[in-house]
Amino acid sequence: MTITQEDELDGMKEIGRIVANTMHAMSRAMEPGMTTRELDAIGRSLLEREGALSAPEASYDFPGATCISVNEEIAHGIPGDRVIAPGDLVNIDVSASKNGYFADTGASFCLSPKRTQLDRLCRDGKRAMQIGIAQVGAGKPLAGIGQAIGRFATARGYTLIRNLASHGVGRSLHEYPEEIATWPMQGERRRIDRGLVLTVEPFLSTGGRWASEGEDGWTLYSDPCAPVVQYEHTVVATERRAIVVTLPG
């Protein structure tokens, strides 16, 4: 999607606010002893209250309103009977649509008692996303996002999951540009058009390099096995900067 009119930006900001509010409310409600299905039900209720539709459920028949991934699960975790425990690393990914506009956001959370390494990984994962967003602007190279994130990750001794990429979003959950690397990639020549809507979502790890699919056909795991965090915003490219639409409010 390329935004050319103010009402389109308003539509993106509305659904962006909804998914951001949903994710943050879920994170506040999350506590040890709760199942991921119970946490997902909170997210579903909030989306329905706002008149929004779960994008993975509506677009791909995903078995849940939101994706909730715990510890060794790094993405697309199916809500179910798994009980969230003290010290868990939990990723919440919320994407939804309203009035024909789609937005996507996610974040990783360390439950108390926090482990120093995971707490640092979470802080640096959020910073990696912010560094990527800073590279978004009209006329800038798409490859600049992954190059900047890659420099940060290498300097801090991290790895990046290299088969989970950012993507275009707006009129559907996944659209052109279908894959935007959040790691350094050779041969990427595309540039960012003014008004382009995309996600920025690096998967930062202490050793993982690839995402492998589990037996359920949805849940993804790190290969090699290592902690992974993901932080994600939906943004719009302008001449000067990126407008982040997935902000709570």
pLDDT tens for 45-104 read 999 999 999 999 999 999 999 999 999 999 999 999 999 999 999 999 999 999 999 999
Among candidate residues 183, 204, 200, 202, the one with its CA nearest the CA of residue 192: 200
Q: Per DSSP, which regions of the chain are E strands?
A: 53-54, 67-70, 73-75, 89-98, 101-110, 159-160, 166-168, 175-180, 197-200, 203-205, 210-213, 220-223, 228-230, 233-237, 242-244
Quick: pLDDT tens for 183-240.
999 989 999 999 999 999 999 999 999 999 999 999 999 999 999 999 999 999 999 8
| Calpha distance 143→57 (Å, rounded) | 31
pTM, full prediction:
0.96
Would you state the pLDDT for residue 244? 98
pLDDT exceeds 90 at position 115: no
Torsion of CA 149, 183, 93, 175, to 10 degrees: 120
Q: Is the pLDDT of residue 114 over 90?
A: no
Q: What is the pLDDT of residue 128?
A: 98
| Burial of residue 18, with CB atoms counted within 10 A of its CB: 0-12 exposed, 13-18 middle, 19 or more buried | buried
